[in-house]
Amino acid sequence: MFTYDMSKAGANRLYHYLYQCIKKDIVSGKILAEEQLPSKRNLAQNLGISVVTVENAYTQLLAEGYIYSLPKKGFFVADINATAEIQSGHKHKPKHARHLPEIPEESEHTNPKYIADFASNGSDIDAFPFSTWAKITREVLCEKQKDLLQVSPGVGTLELRRSIAKMLREFRNIHVSPEQIVIGAGTDYLYGLLVQLLGFDKCYAVEDPGYGKISKLYSQYGISVSYIPIEGKDFVDALKSSNADVVHISPAHHFPTGKVMPIGDRYRLLSWAAESPKRYIVEDDYDSEFRMTGKPIPALQNIDVTEKVIYLNTFSKTMTSAIRLSYMVLPPHLAEKFHNKLSFYSCTVSNLDQYVLAKFIDLGYYETHINRMRNLYRAKRDVLLSAIDKSNLSKVAHIYEEDAGLHFIMEVHTKYPDAEFCNRARQKGVNIKALSEYYFKATPSEHKFVINYSSVEKSDMKKAVQILADLIRFSPEQ
């Protein structure tokens, strides 16, 4: 035992060879658990090697758990087979045996292939400026090496925040300083930061119907969420009668109805916020870039002089999922609070993405891209509307809010309940979602459907419309 022929070490470093020999003997059971190992000095003498070599081998064995040491006693062989029992502290089978989690099986592409997917908020294949992005990435990787290795401030690089401030000034007439901007990897992440900034003890209000994820996210933090109906009752009155401190809205383009908040309501909302220092308005301006006619609606942030509006927007809508980058604009006093309370967080966006996007904006590519996308989506919308117009669908369907953003609402006269209509459409290869699926507490209008056309190919639209038209033709009592 412990008599190894060190001349066989060959190309191996001596310590590594010794480590391998002892490990082999432990695993094979030649050396038994709890057996004491020779002292480093003794073994070194016996094998004719240095104490340091033995020490290195023992250190590795220790680190890997084959041996353990007791102070002033020496080294002992660990019971490598008893791991489970040692761990659980008792002998019964651990509660959670090692098994694969019951998660739906994944394939490279989880979405079934539809002829047309009007429920997806995916993007058109032309929606990402692949070659420009590649070119700028190459330039940034070449020119900005030192900057890329700097640890970015938690709120994002100054360079990108400057570009965004400039862009907001030019496109949205929003005048803010880069110090008010916080960059983050997606709006979900920024919502989480907002909760930490404004406090877990606040009550949040969301629009009903609305984007279910927002209330789900707030609830995740144990926060109480009020649902404010945007139809029927007056929105601001309903908000007042809730106990909400913070209201989360998309005034430029409500999701999913597409409604624009009237100017009167905007002022009344700001009034409501001004009544208490706890109150804030989160203005989610998620697809204002894609307004199809007229000039973009001015942001609430624009008419706010009491520092009550937190403006949020994302590049993931205009630049696709390829780039995950969102930002928020905090009113100055909140920017200061953020700096004091949350600036310890590392920025969640890669430096590379930040520098490439900044350059993309500064060189005017972003403006060009938005204009190109707006035209592309407008053309899609026109093809779809014209296909509907020319089909039998037009006799039983009414289109709402087709001018804003990348979706519109289609009301259909059908006797099918919403769920059945959607199911039948899906079976025929057309994925659509009923507006009623977006309601929380308010009473949904039946037979309205959200038609998101951004990821549907123009060439598939006529067929998709025909499928929907046929469905209605054959629906009961139609």
Tell which positions 296-335 bind a second copy, by CB under 8 A. 297-298, 303-307, 316, 320-325, 331-333, 335
- The length of the chain in residues reads 478
Residue 77 and residue 32 in contact, taking contact as beta carbons nearer than 8 Å = yes
Instruction: Supply the minimum distance, in Å, between the C-beta of residue 262 and a second copy.
Output: 7
Q: How far apart are the first and last CA of the chain?
A: 91
Stretch that binds a second copy, among 36-44, 140-148, 413-421, 465-473 (CB under 8 A): 140-148
> Considering only CA atoms, which of 300, 294, 292 is closest in space to residue 265?
300
Stretch that binds a second copy, among 38-46, 151-159, 411-419, 465-473 (CB under 8 A): 151-159
With binding defined as CB under 8 A, does residue 339 bind a second copy?
yes
72 φ, ψ to 5°? Answer: 65, 5
With binding defined as CB under 8 A, does residue 130 bind a second copy?
yes
Instruction: Supply the minimum distance, in Å, between the C-beta of residue 52 and a second copy.
Output: 12
CB of 5 or CB of 105, closer to a second copy? 105
CB of 84 or CB of 419, closer to a second copy? 84
With binding defined as CB under 8 A, does residue 74 bind a second copy?
no
CB of 179 or CB of 420, closer to a second copy? 179
With binding defined as CB under 8 A, does residue 234 bind a second copy?
no
Q: For residue 194, what are the contacts with CB-CB under 8 A and spacing of at least 6?
A: 282, 310, 328
> Considering only CA atoms, which of 388, 406, 408, 410 is closest in space to residue 398?
410
> Considering only CA atoms, which of 232, 187, 172, 185 is closest in space to residue 207?
232
Q: Which residue in the set 73, 95, 112, 459 belongs to the binding site for a second copy (CB under 8 A)?
A: 95
With binding defined as CB under 8 A, does residue 33 bind a second copy?
no
CB of 70 or CB of 477, closer to a second copy? 70
CB of 130 or CB of 474, closer to a second copy? 130
Measured CA to CA, the distance from residue 384 to residue 372 in angstroms comes to 18
3-state secondary structure of 454: coil
With binding defined as CB under 8 A, does residue 72 bind a second copy?
no
Measured CA to CA, the distance from residue 410 to residue 391 in angstroms comes to 14
3-state secondary structure of 430: strand
Q: Which residue in the set 6, 51, 274, 370 belongs to the binding site for a second copy (CB under 8 A)?
A: 274
Using CA atoms, how far residue 472 sits from 146, 416, 456, in Å, is 62, 8, 21
Measured CA to CA, the distance from residue 135 to residue 196 in angstroms comes to 38
Measured CA to CA, the distance from residue 273 to residue 205 in angstroms comes to 13
Instruction: Supply the minimum distance, in Å, between the C-beta of residue 242 and a second copy.
Output: 18
Q: Which residue in the set 100, 112, 364, 477 belongs to the binding site for a second copy (CB under 8 A)?
A: 100
With binding defined as CB under 8 A, does residue 94 bind a second copy?
yes
Q: Which residue in the set 185, 370, 396, 399 belongs to the binding site for a second copy (CB under 8 A)?
A: 185
CB of 165 or CB of 472, closer to a second copy? 165
With binding defined as CB under 8 A, does residue 345 bind a second copy?
yes
Instruction: Supply the minimum distance, in Å, between the C-beta of residue 352 and a second copy.
Output: 5
Using CA atoms, how far residue 60 sits from 12, 18, 79, 150, 211, in Å, is 15, 10, 17, 35, 54
Stretch that binds a second copy, among 58-66, 370-378, 385-393, 463-471 (CB under 8 A): 58-66
With binding defined as CB under 8 A, does residue 122 bind a second copy?
yes
> Considering only CA atoms, which of 273, 296, 254 is closest in space to residue 168?
296
Instruction: Supply the minimum distance, in Å, between the C-beta of residue 396 and a second copy.
Output: 24
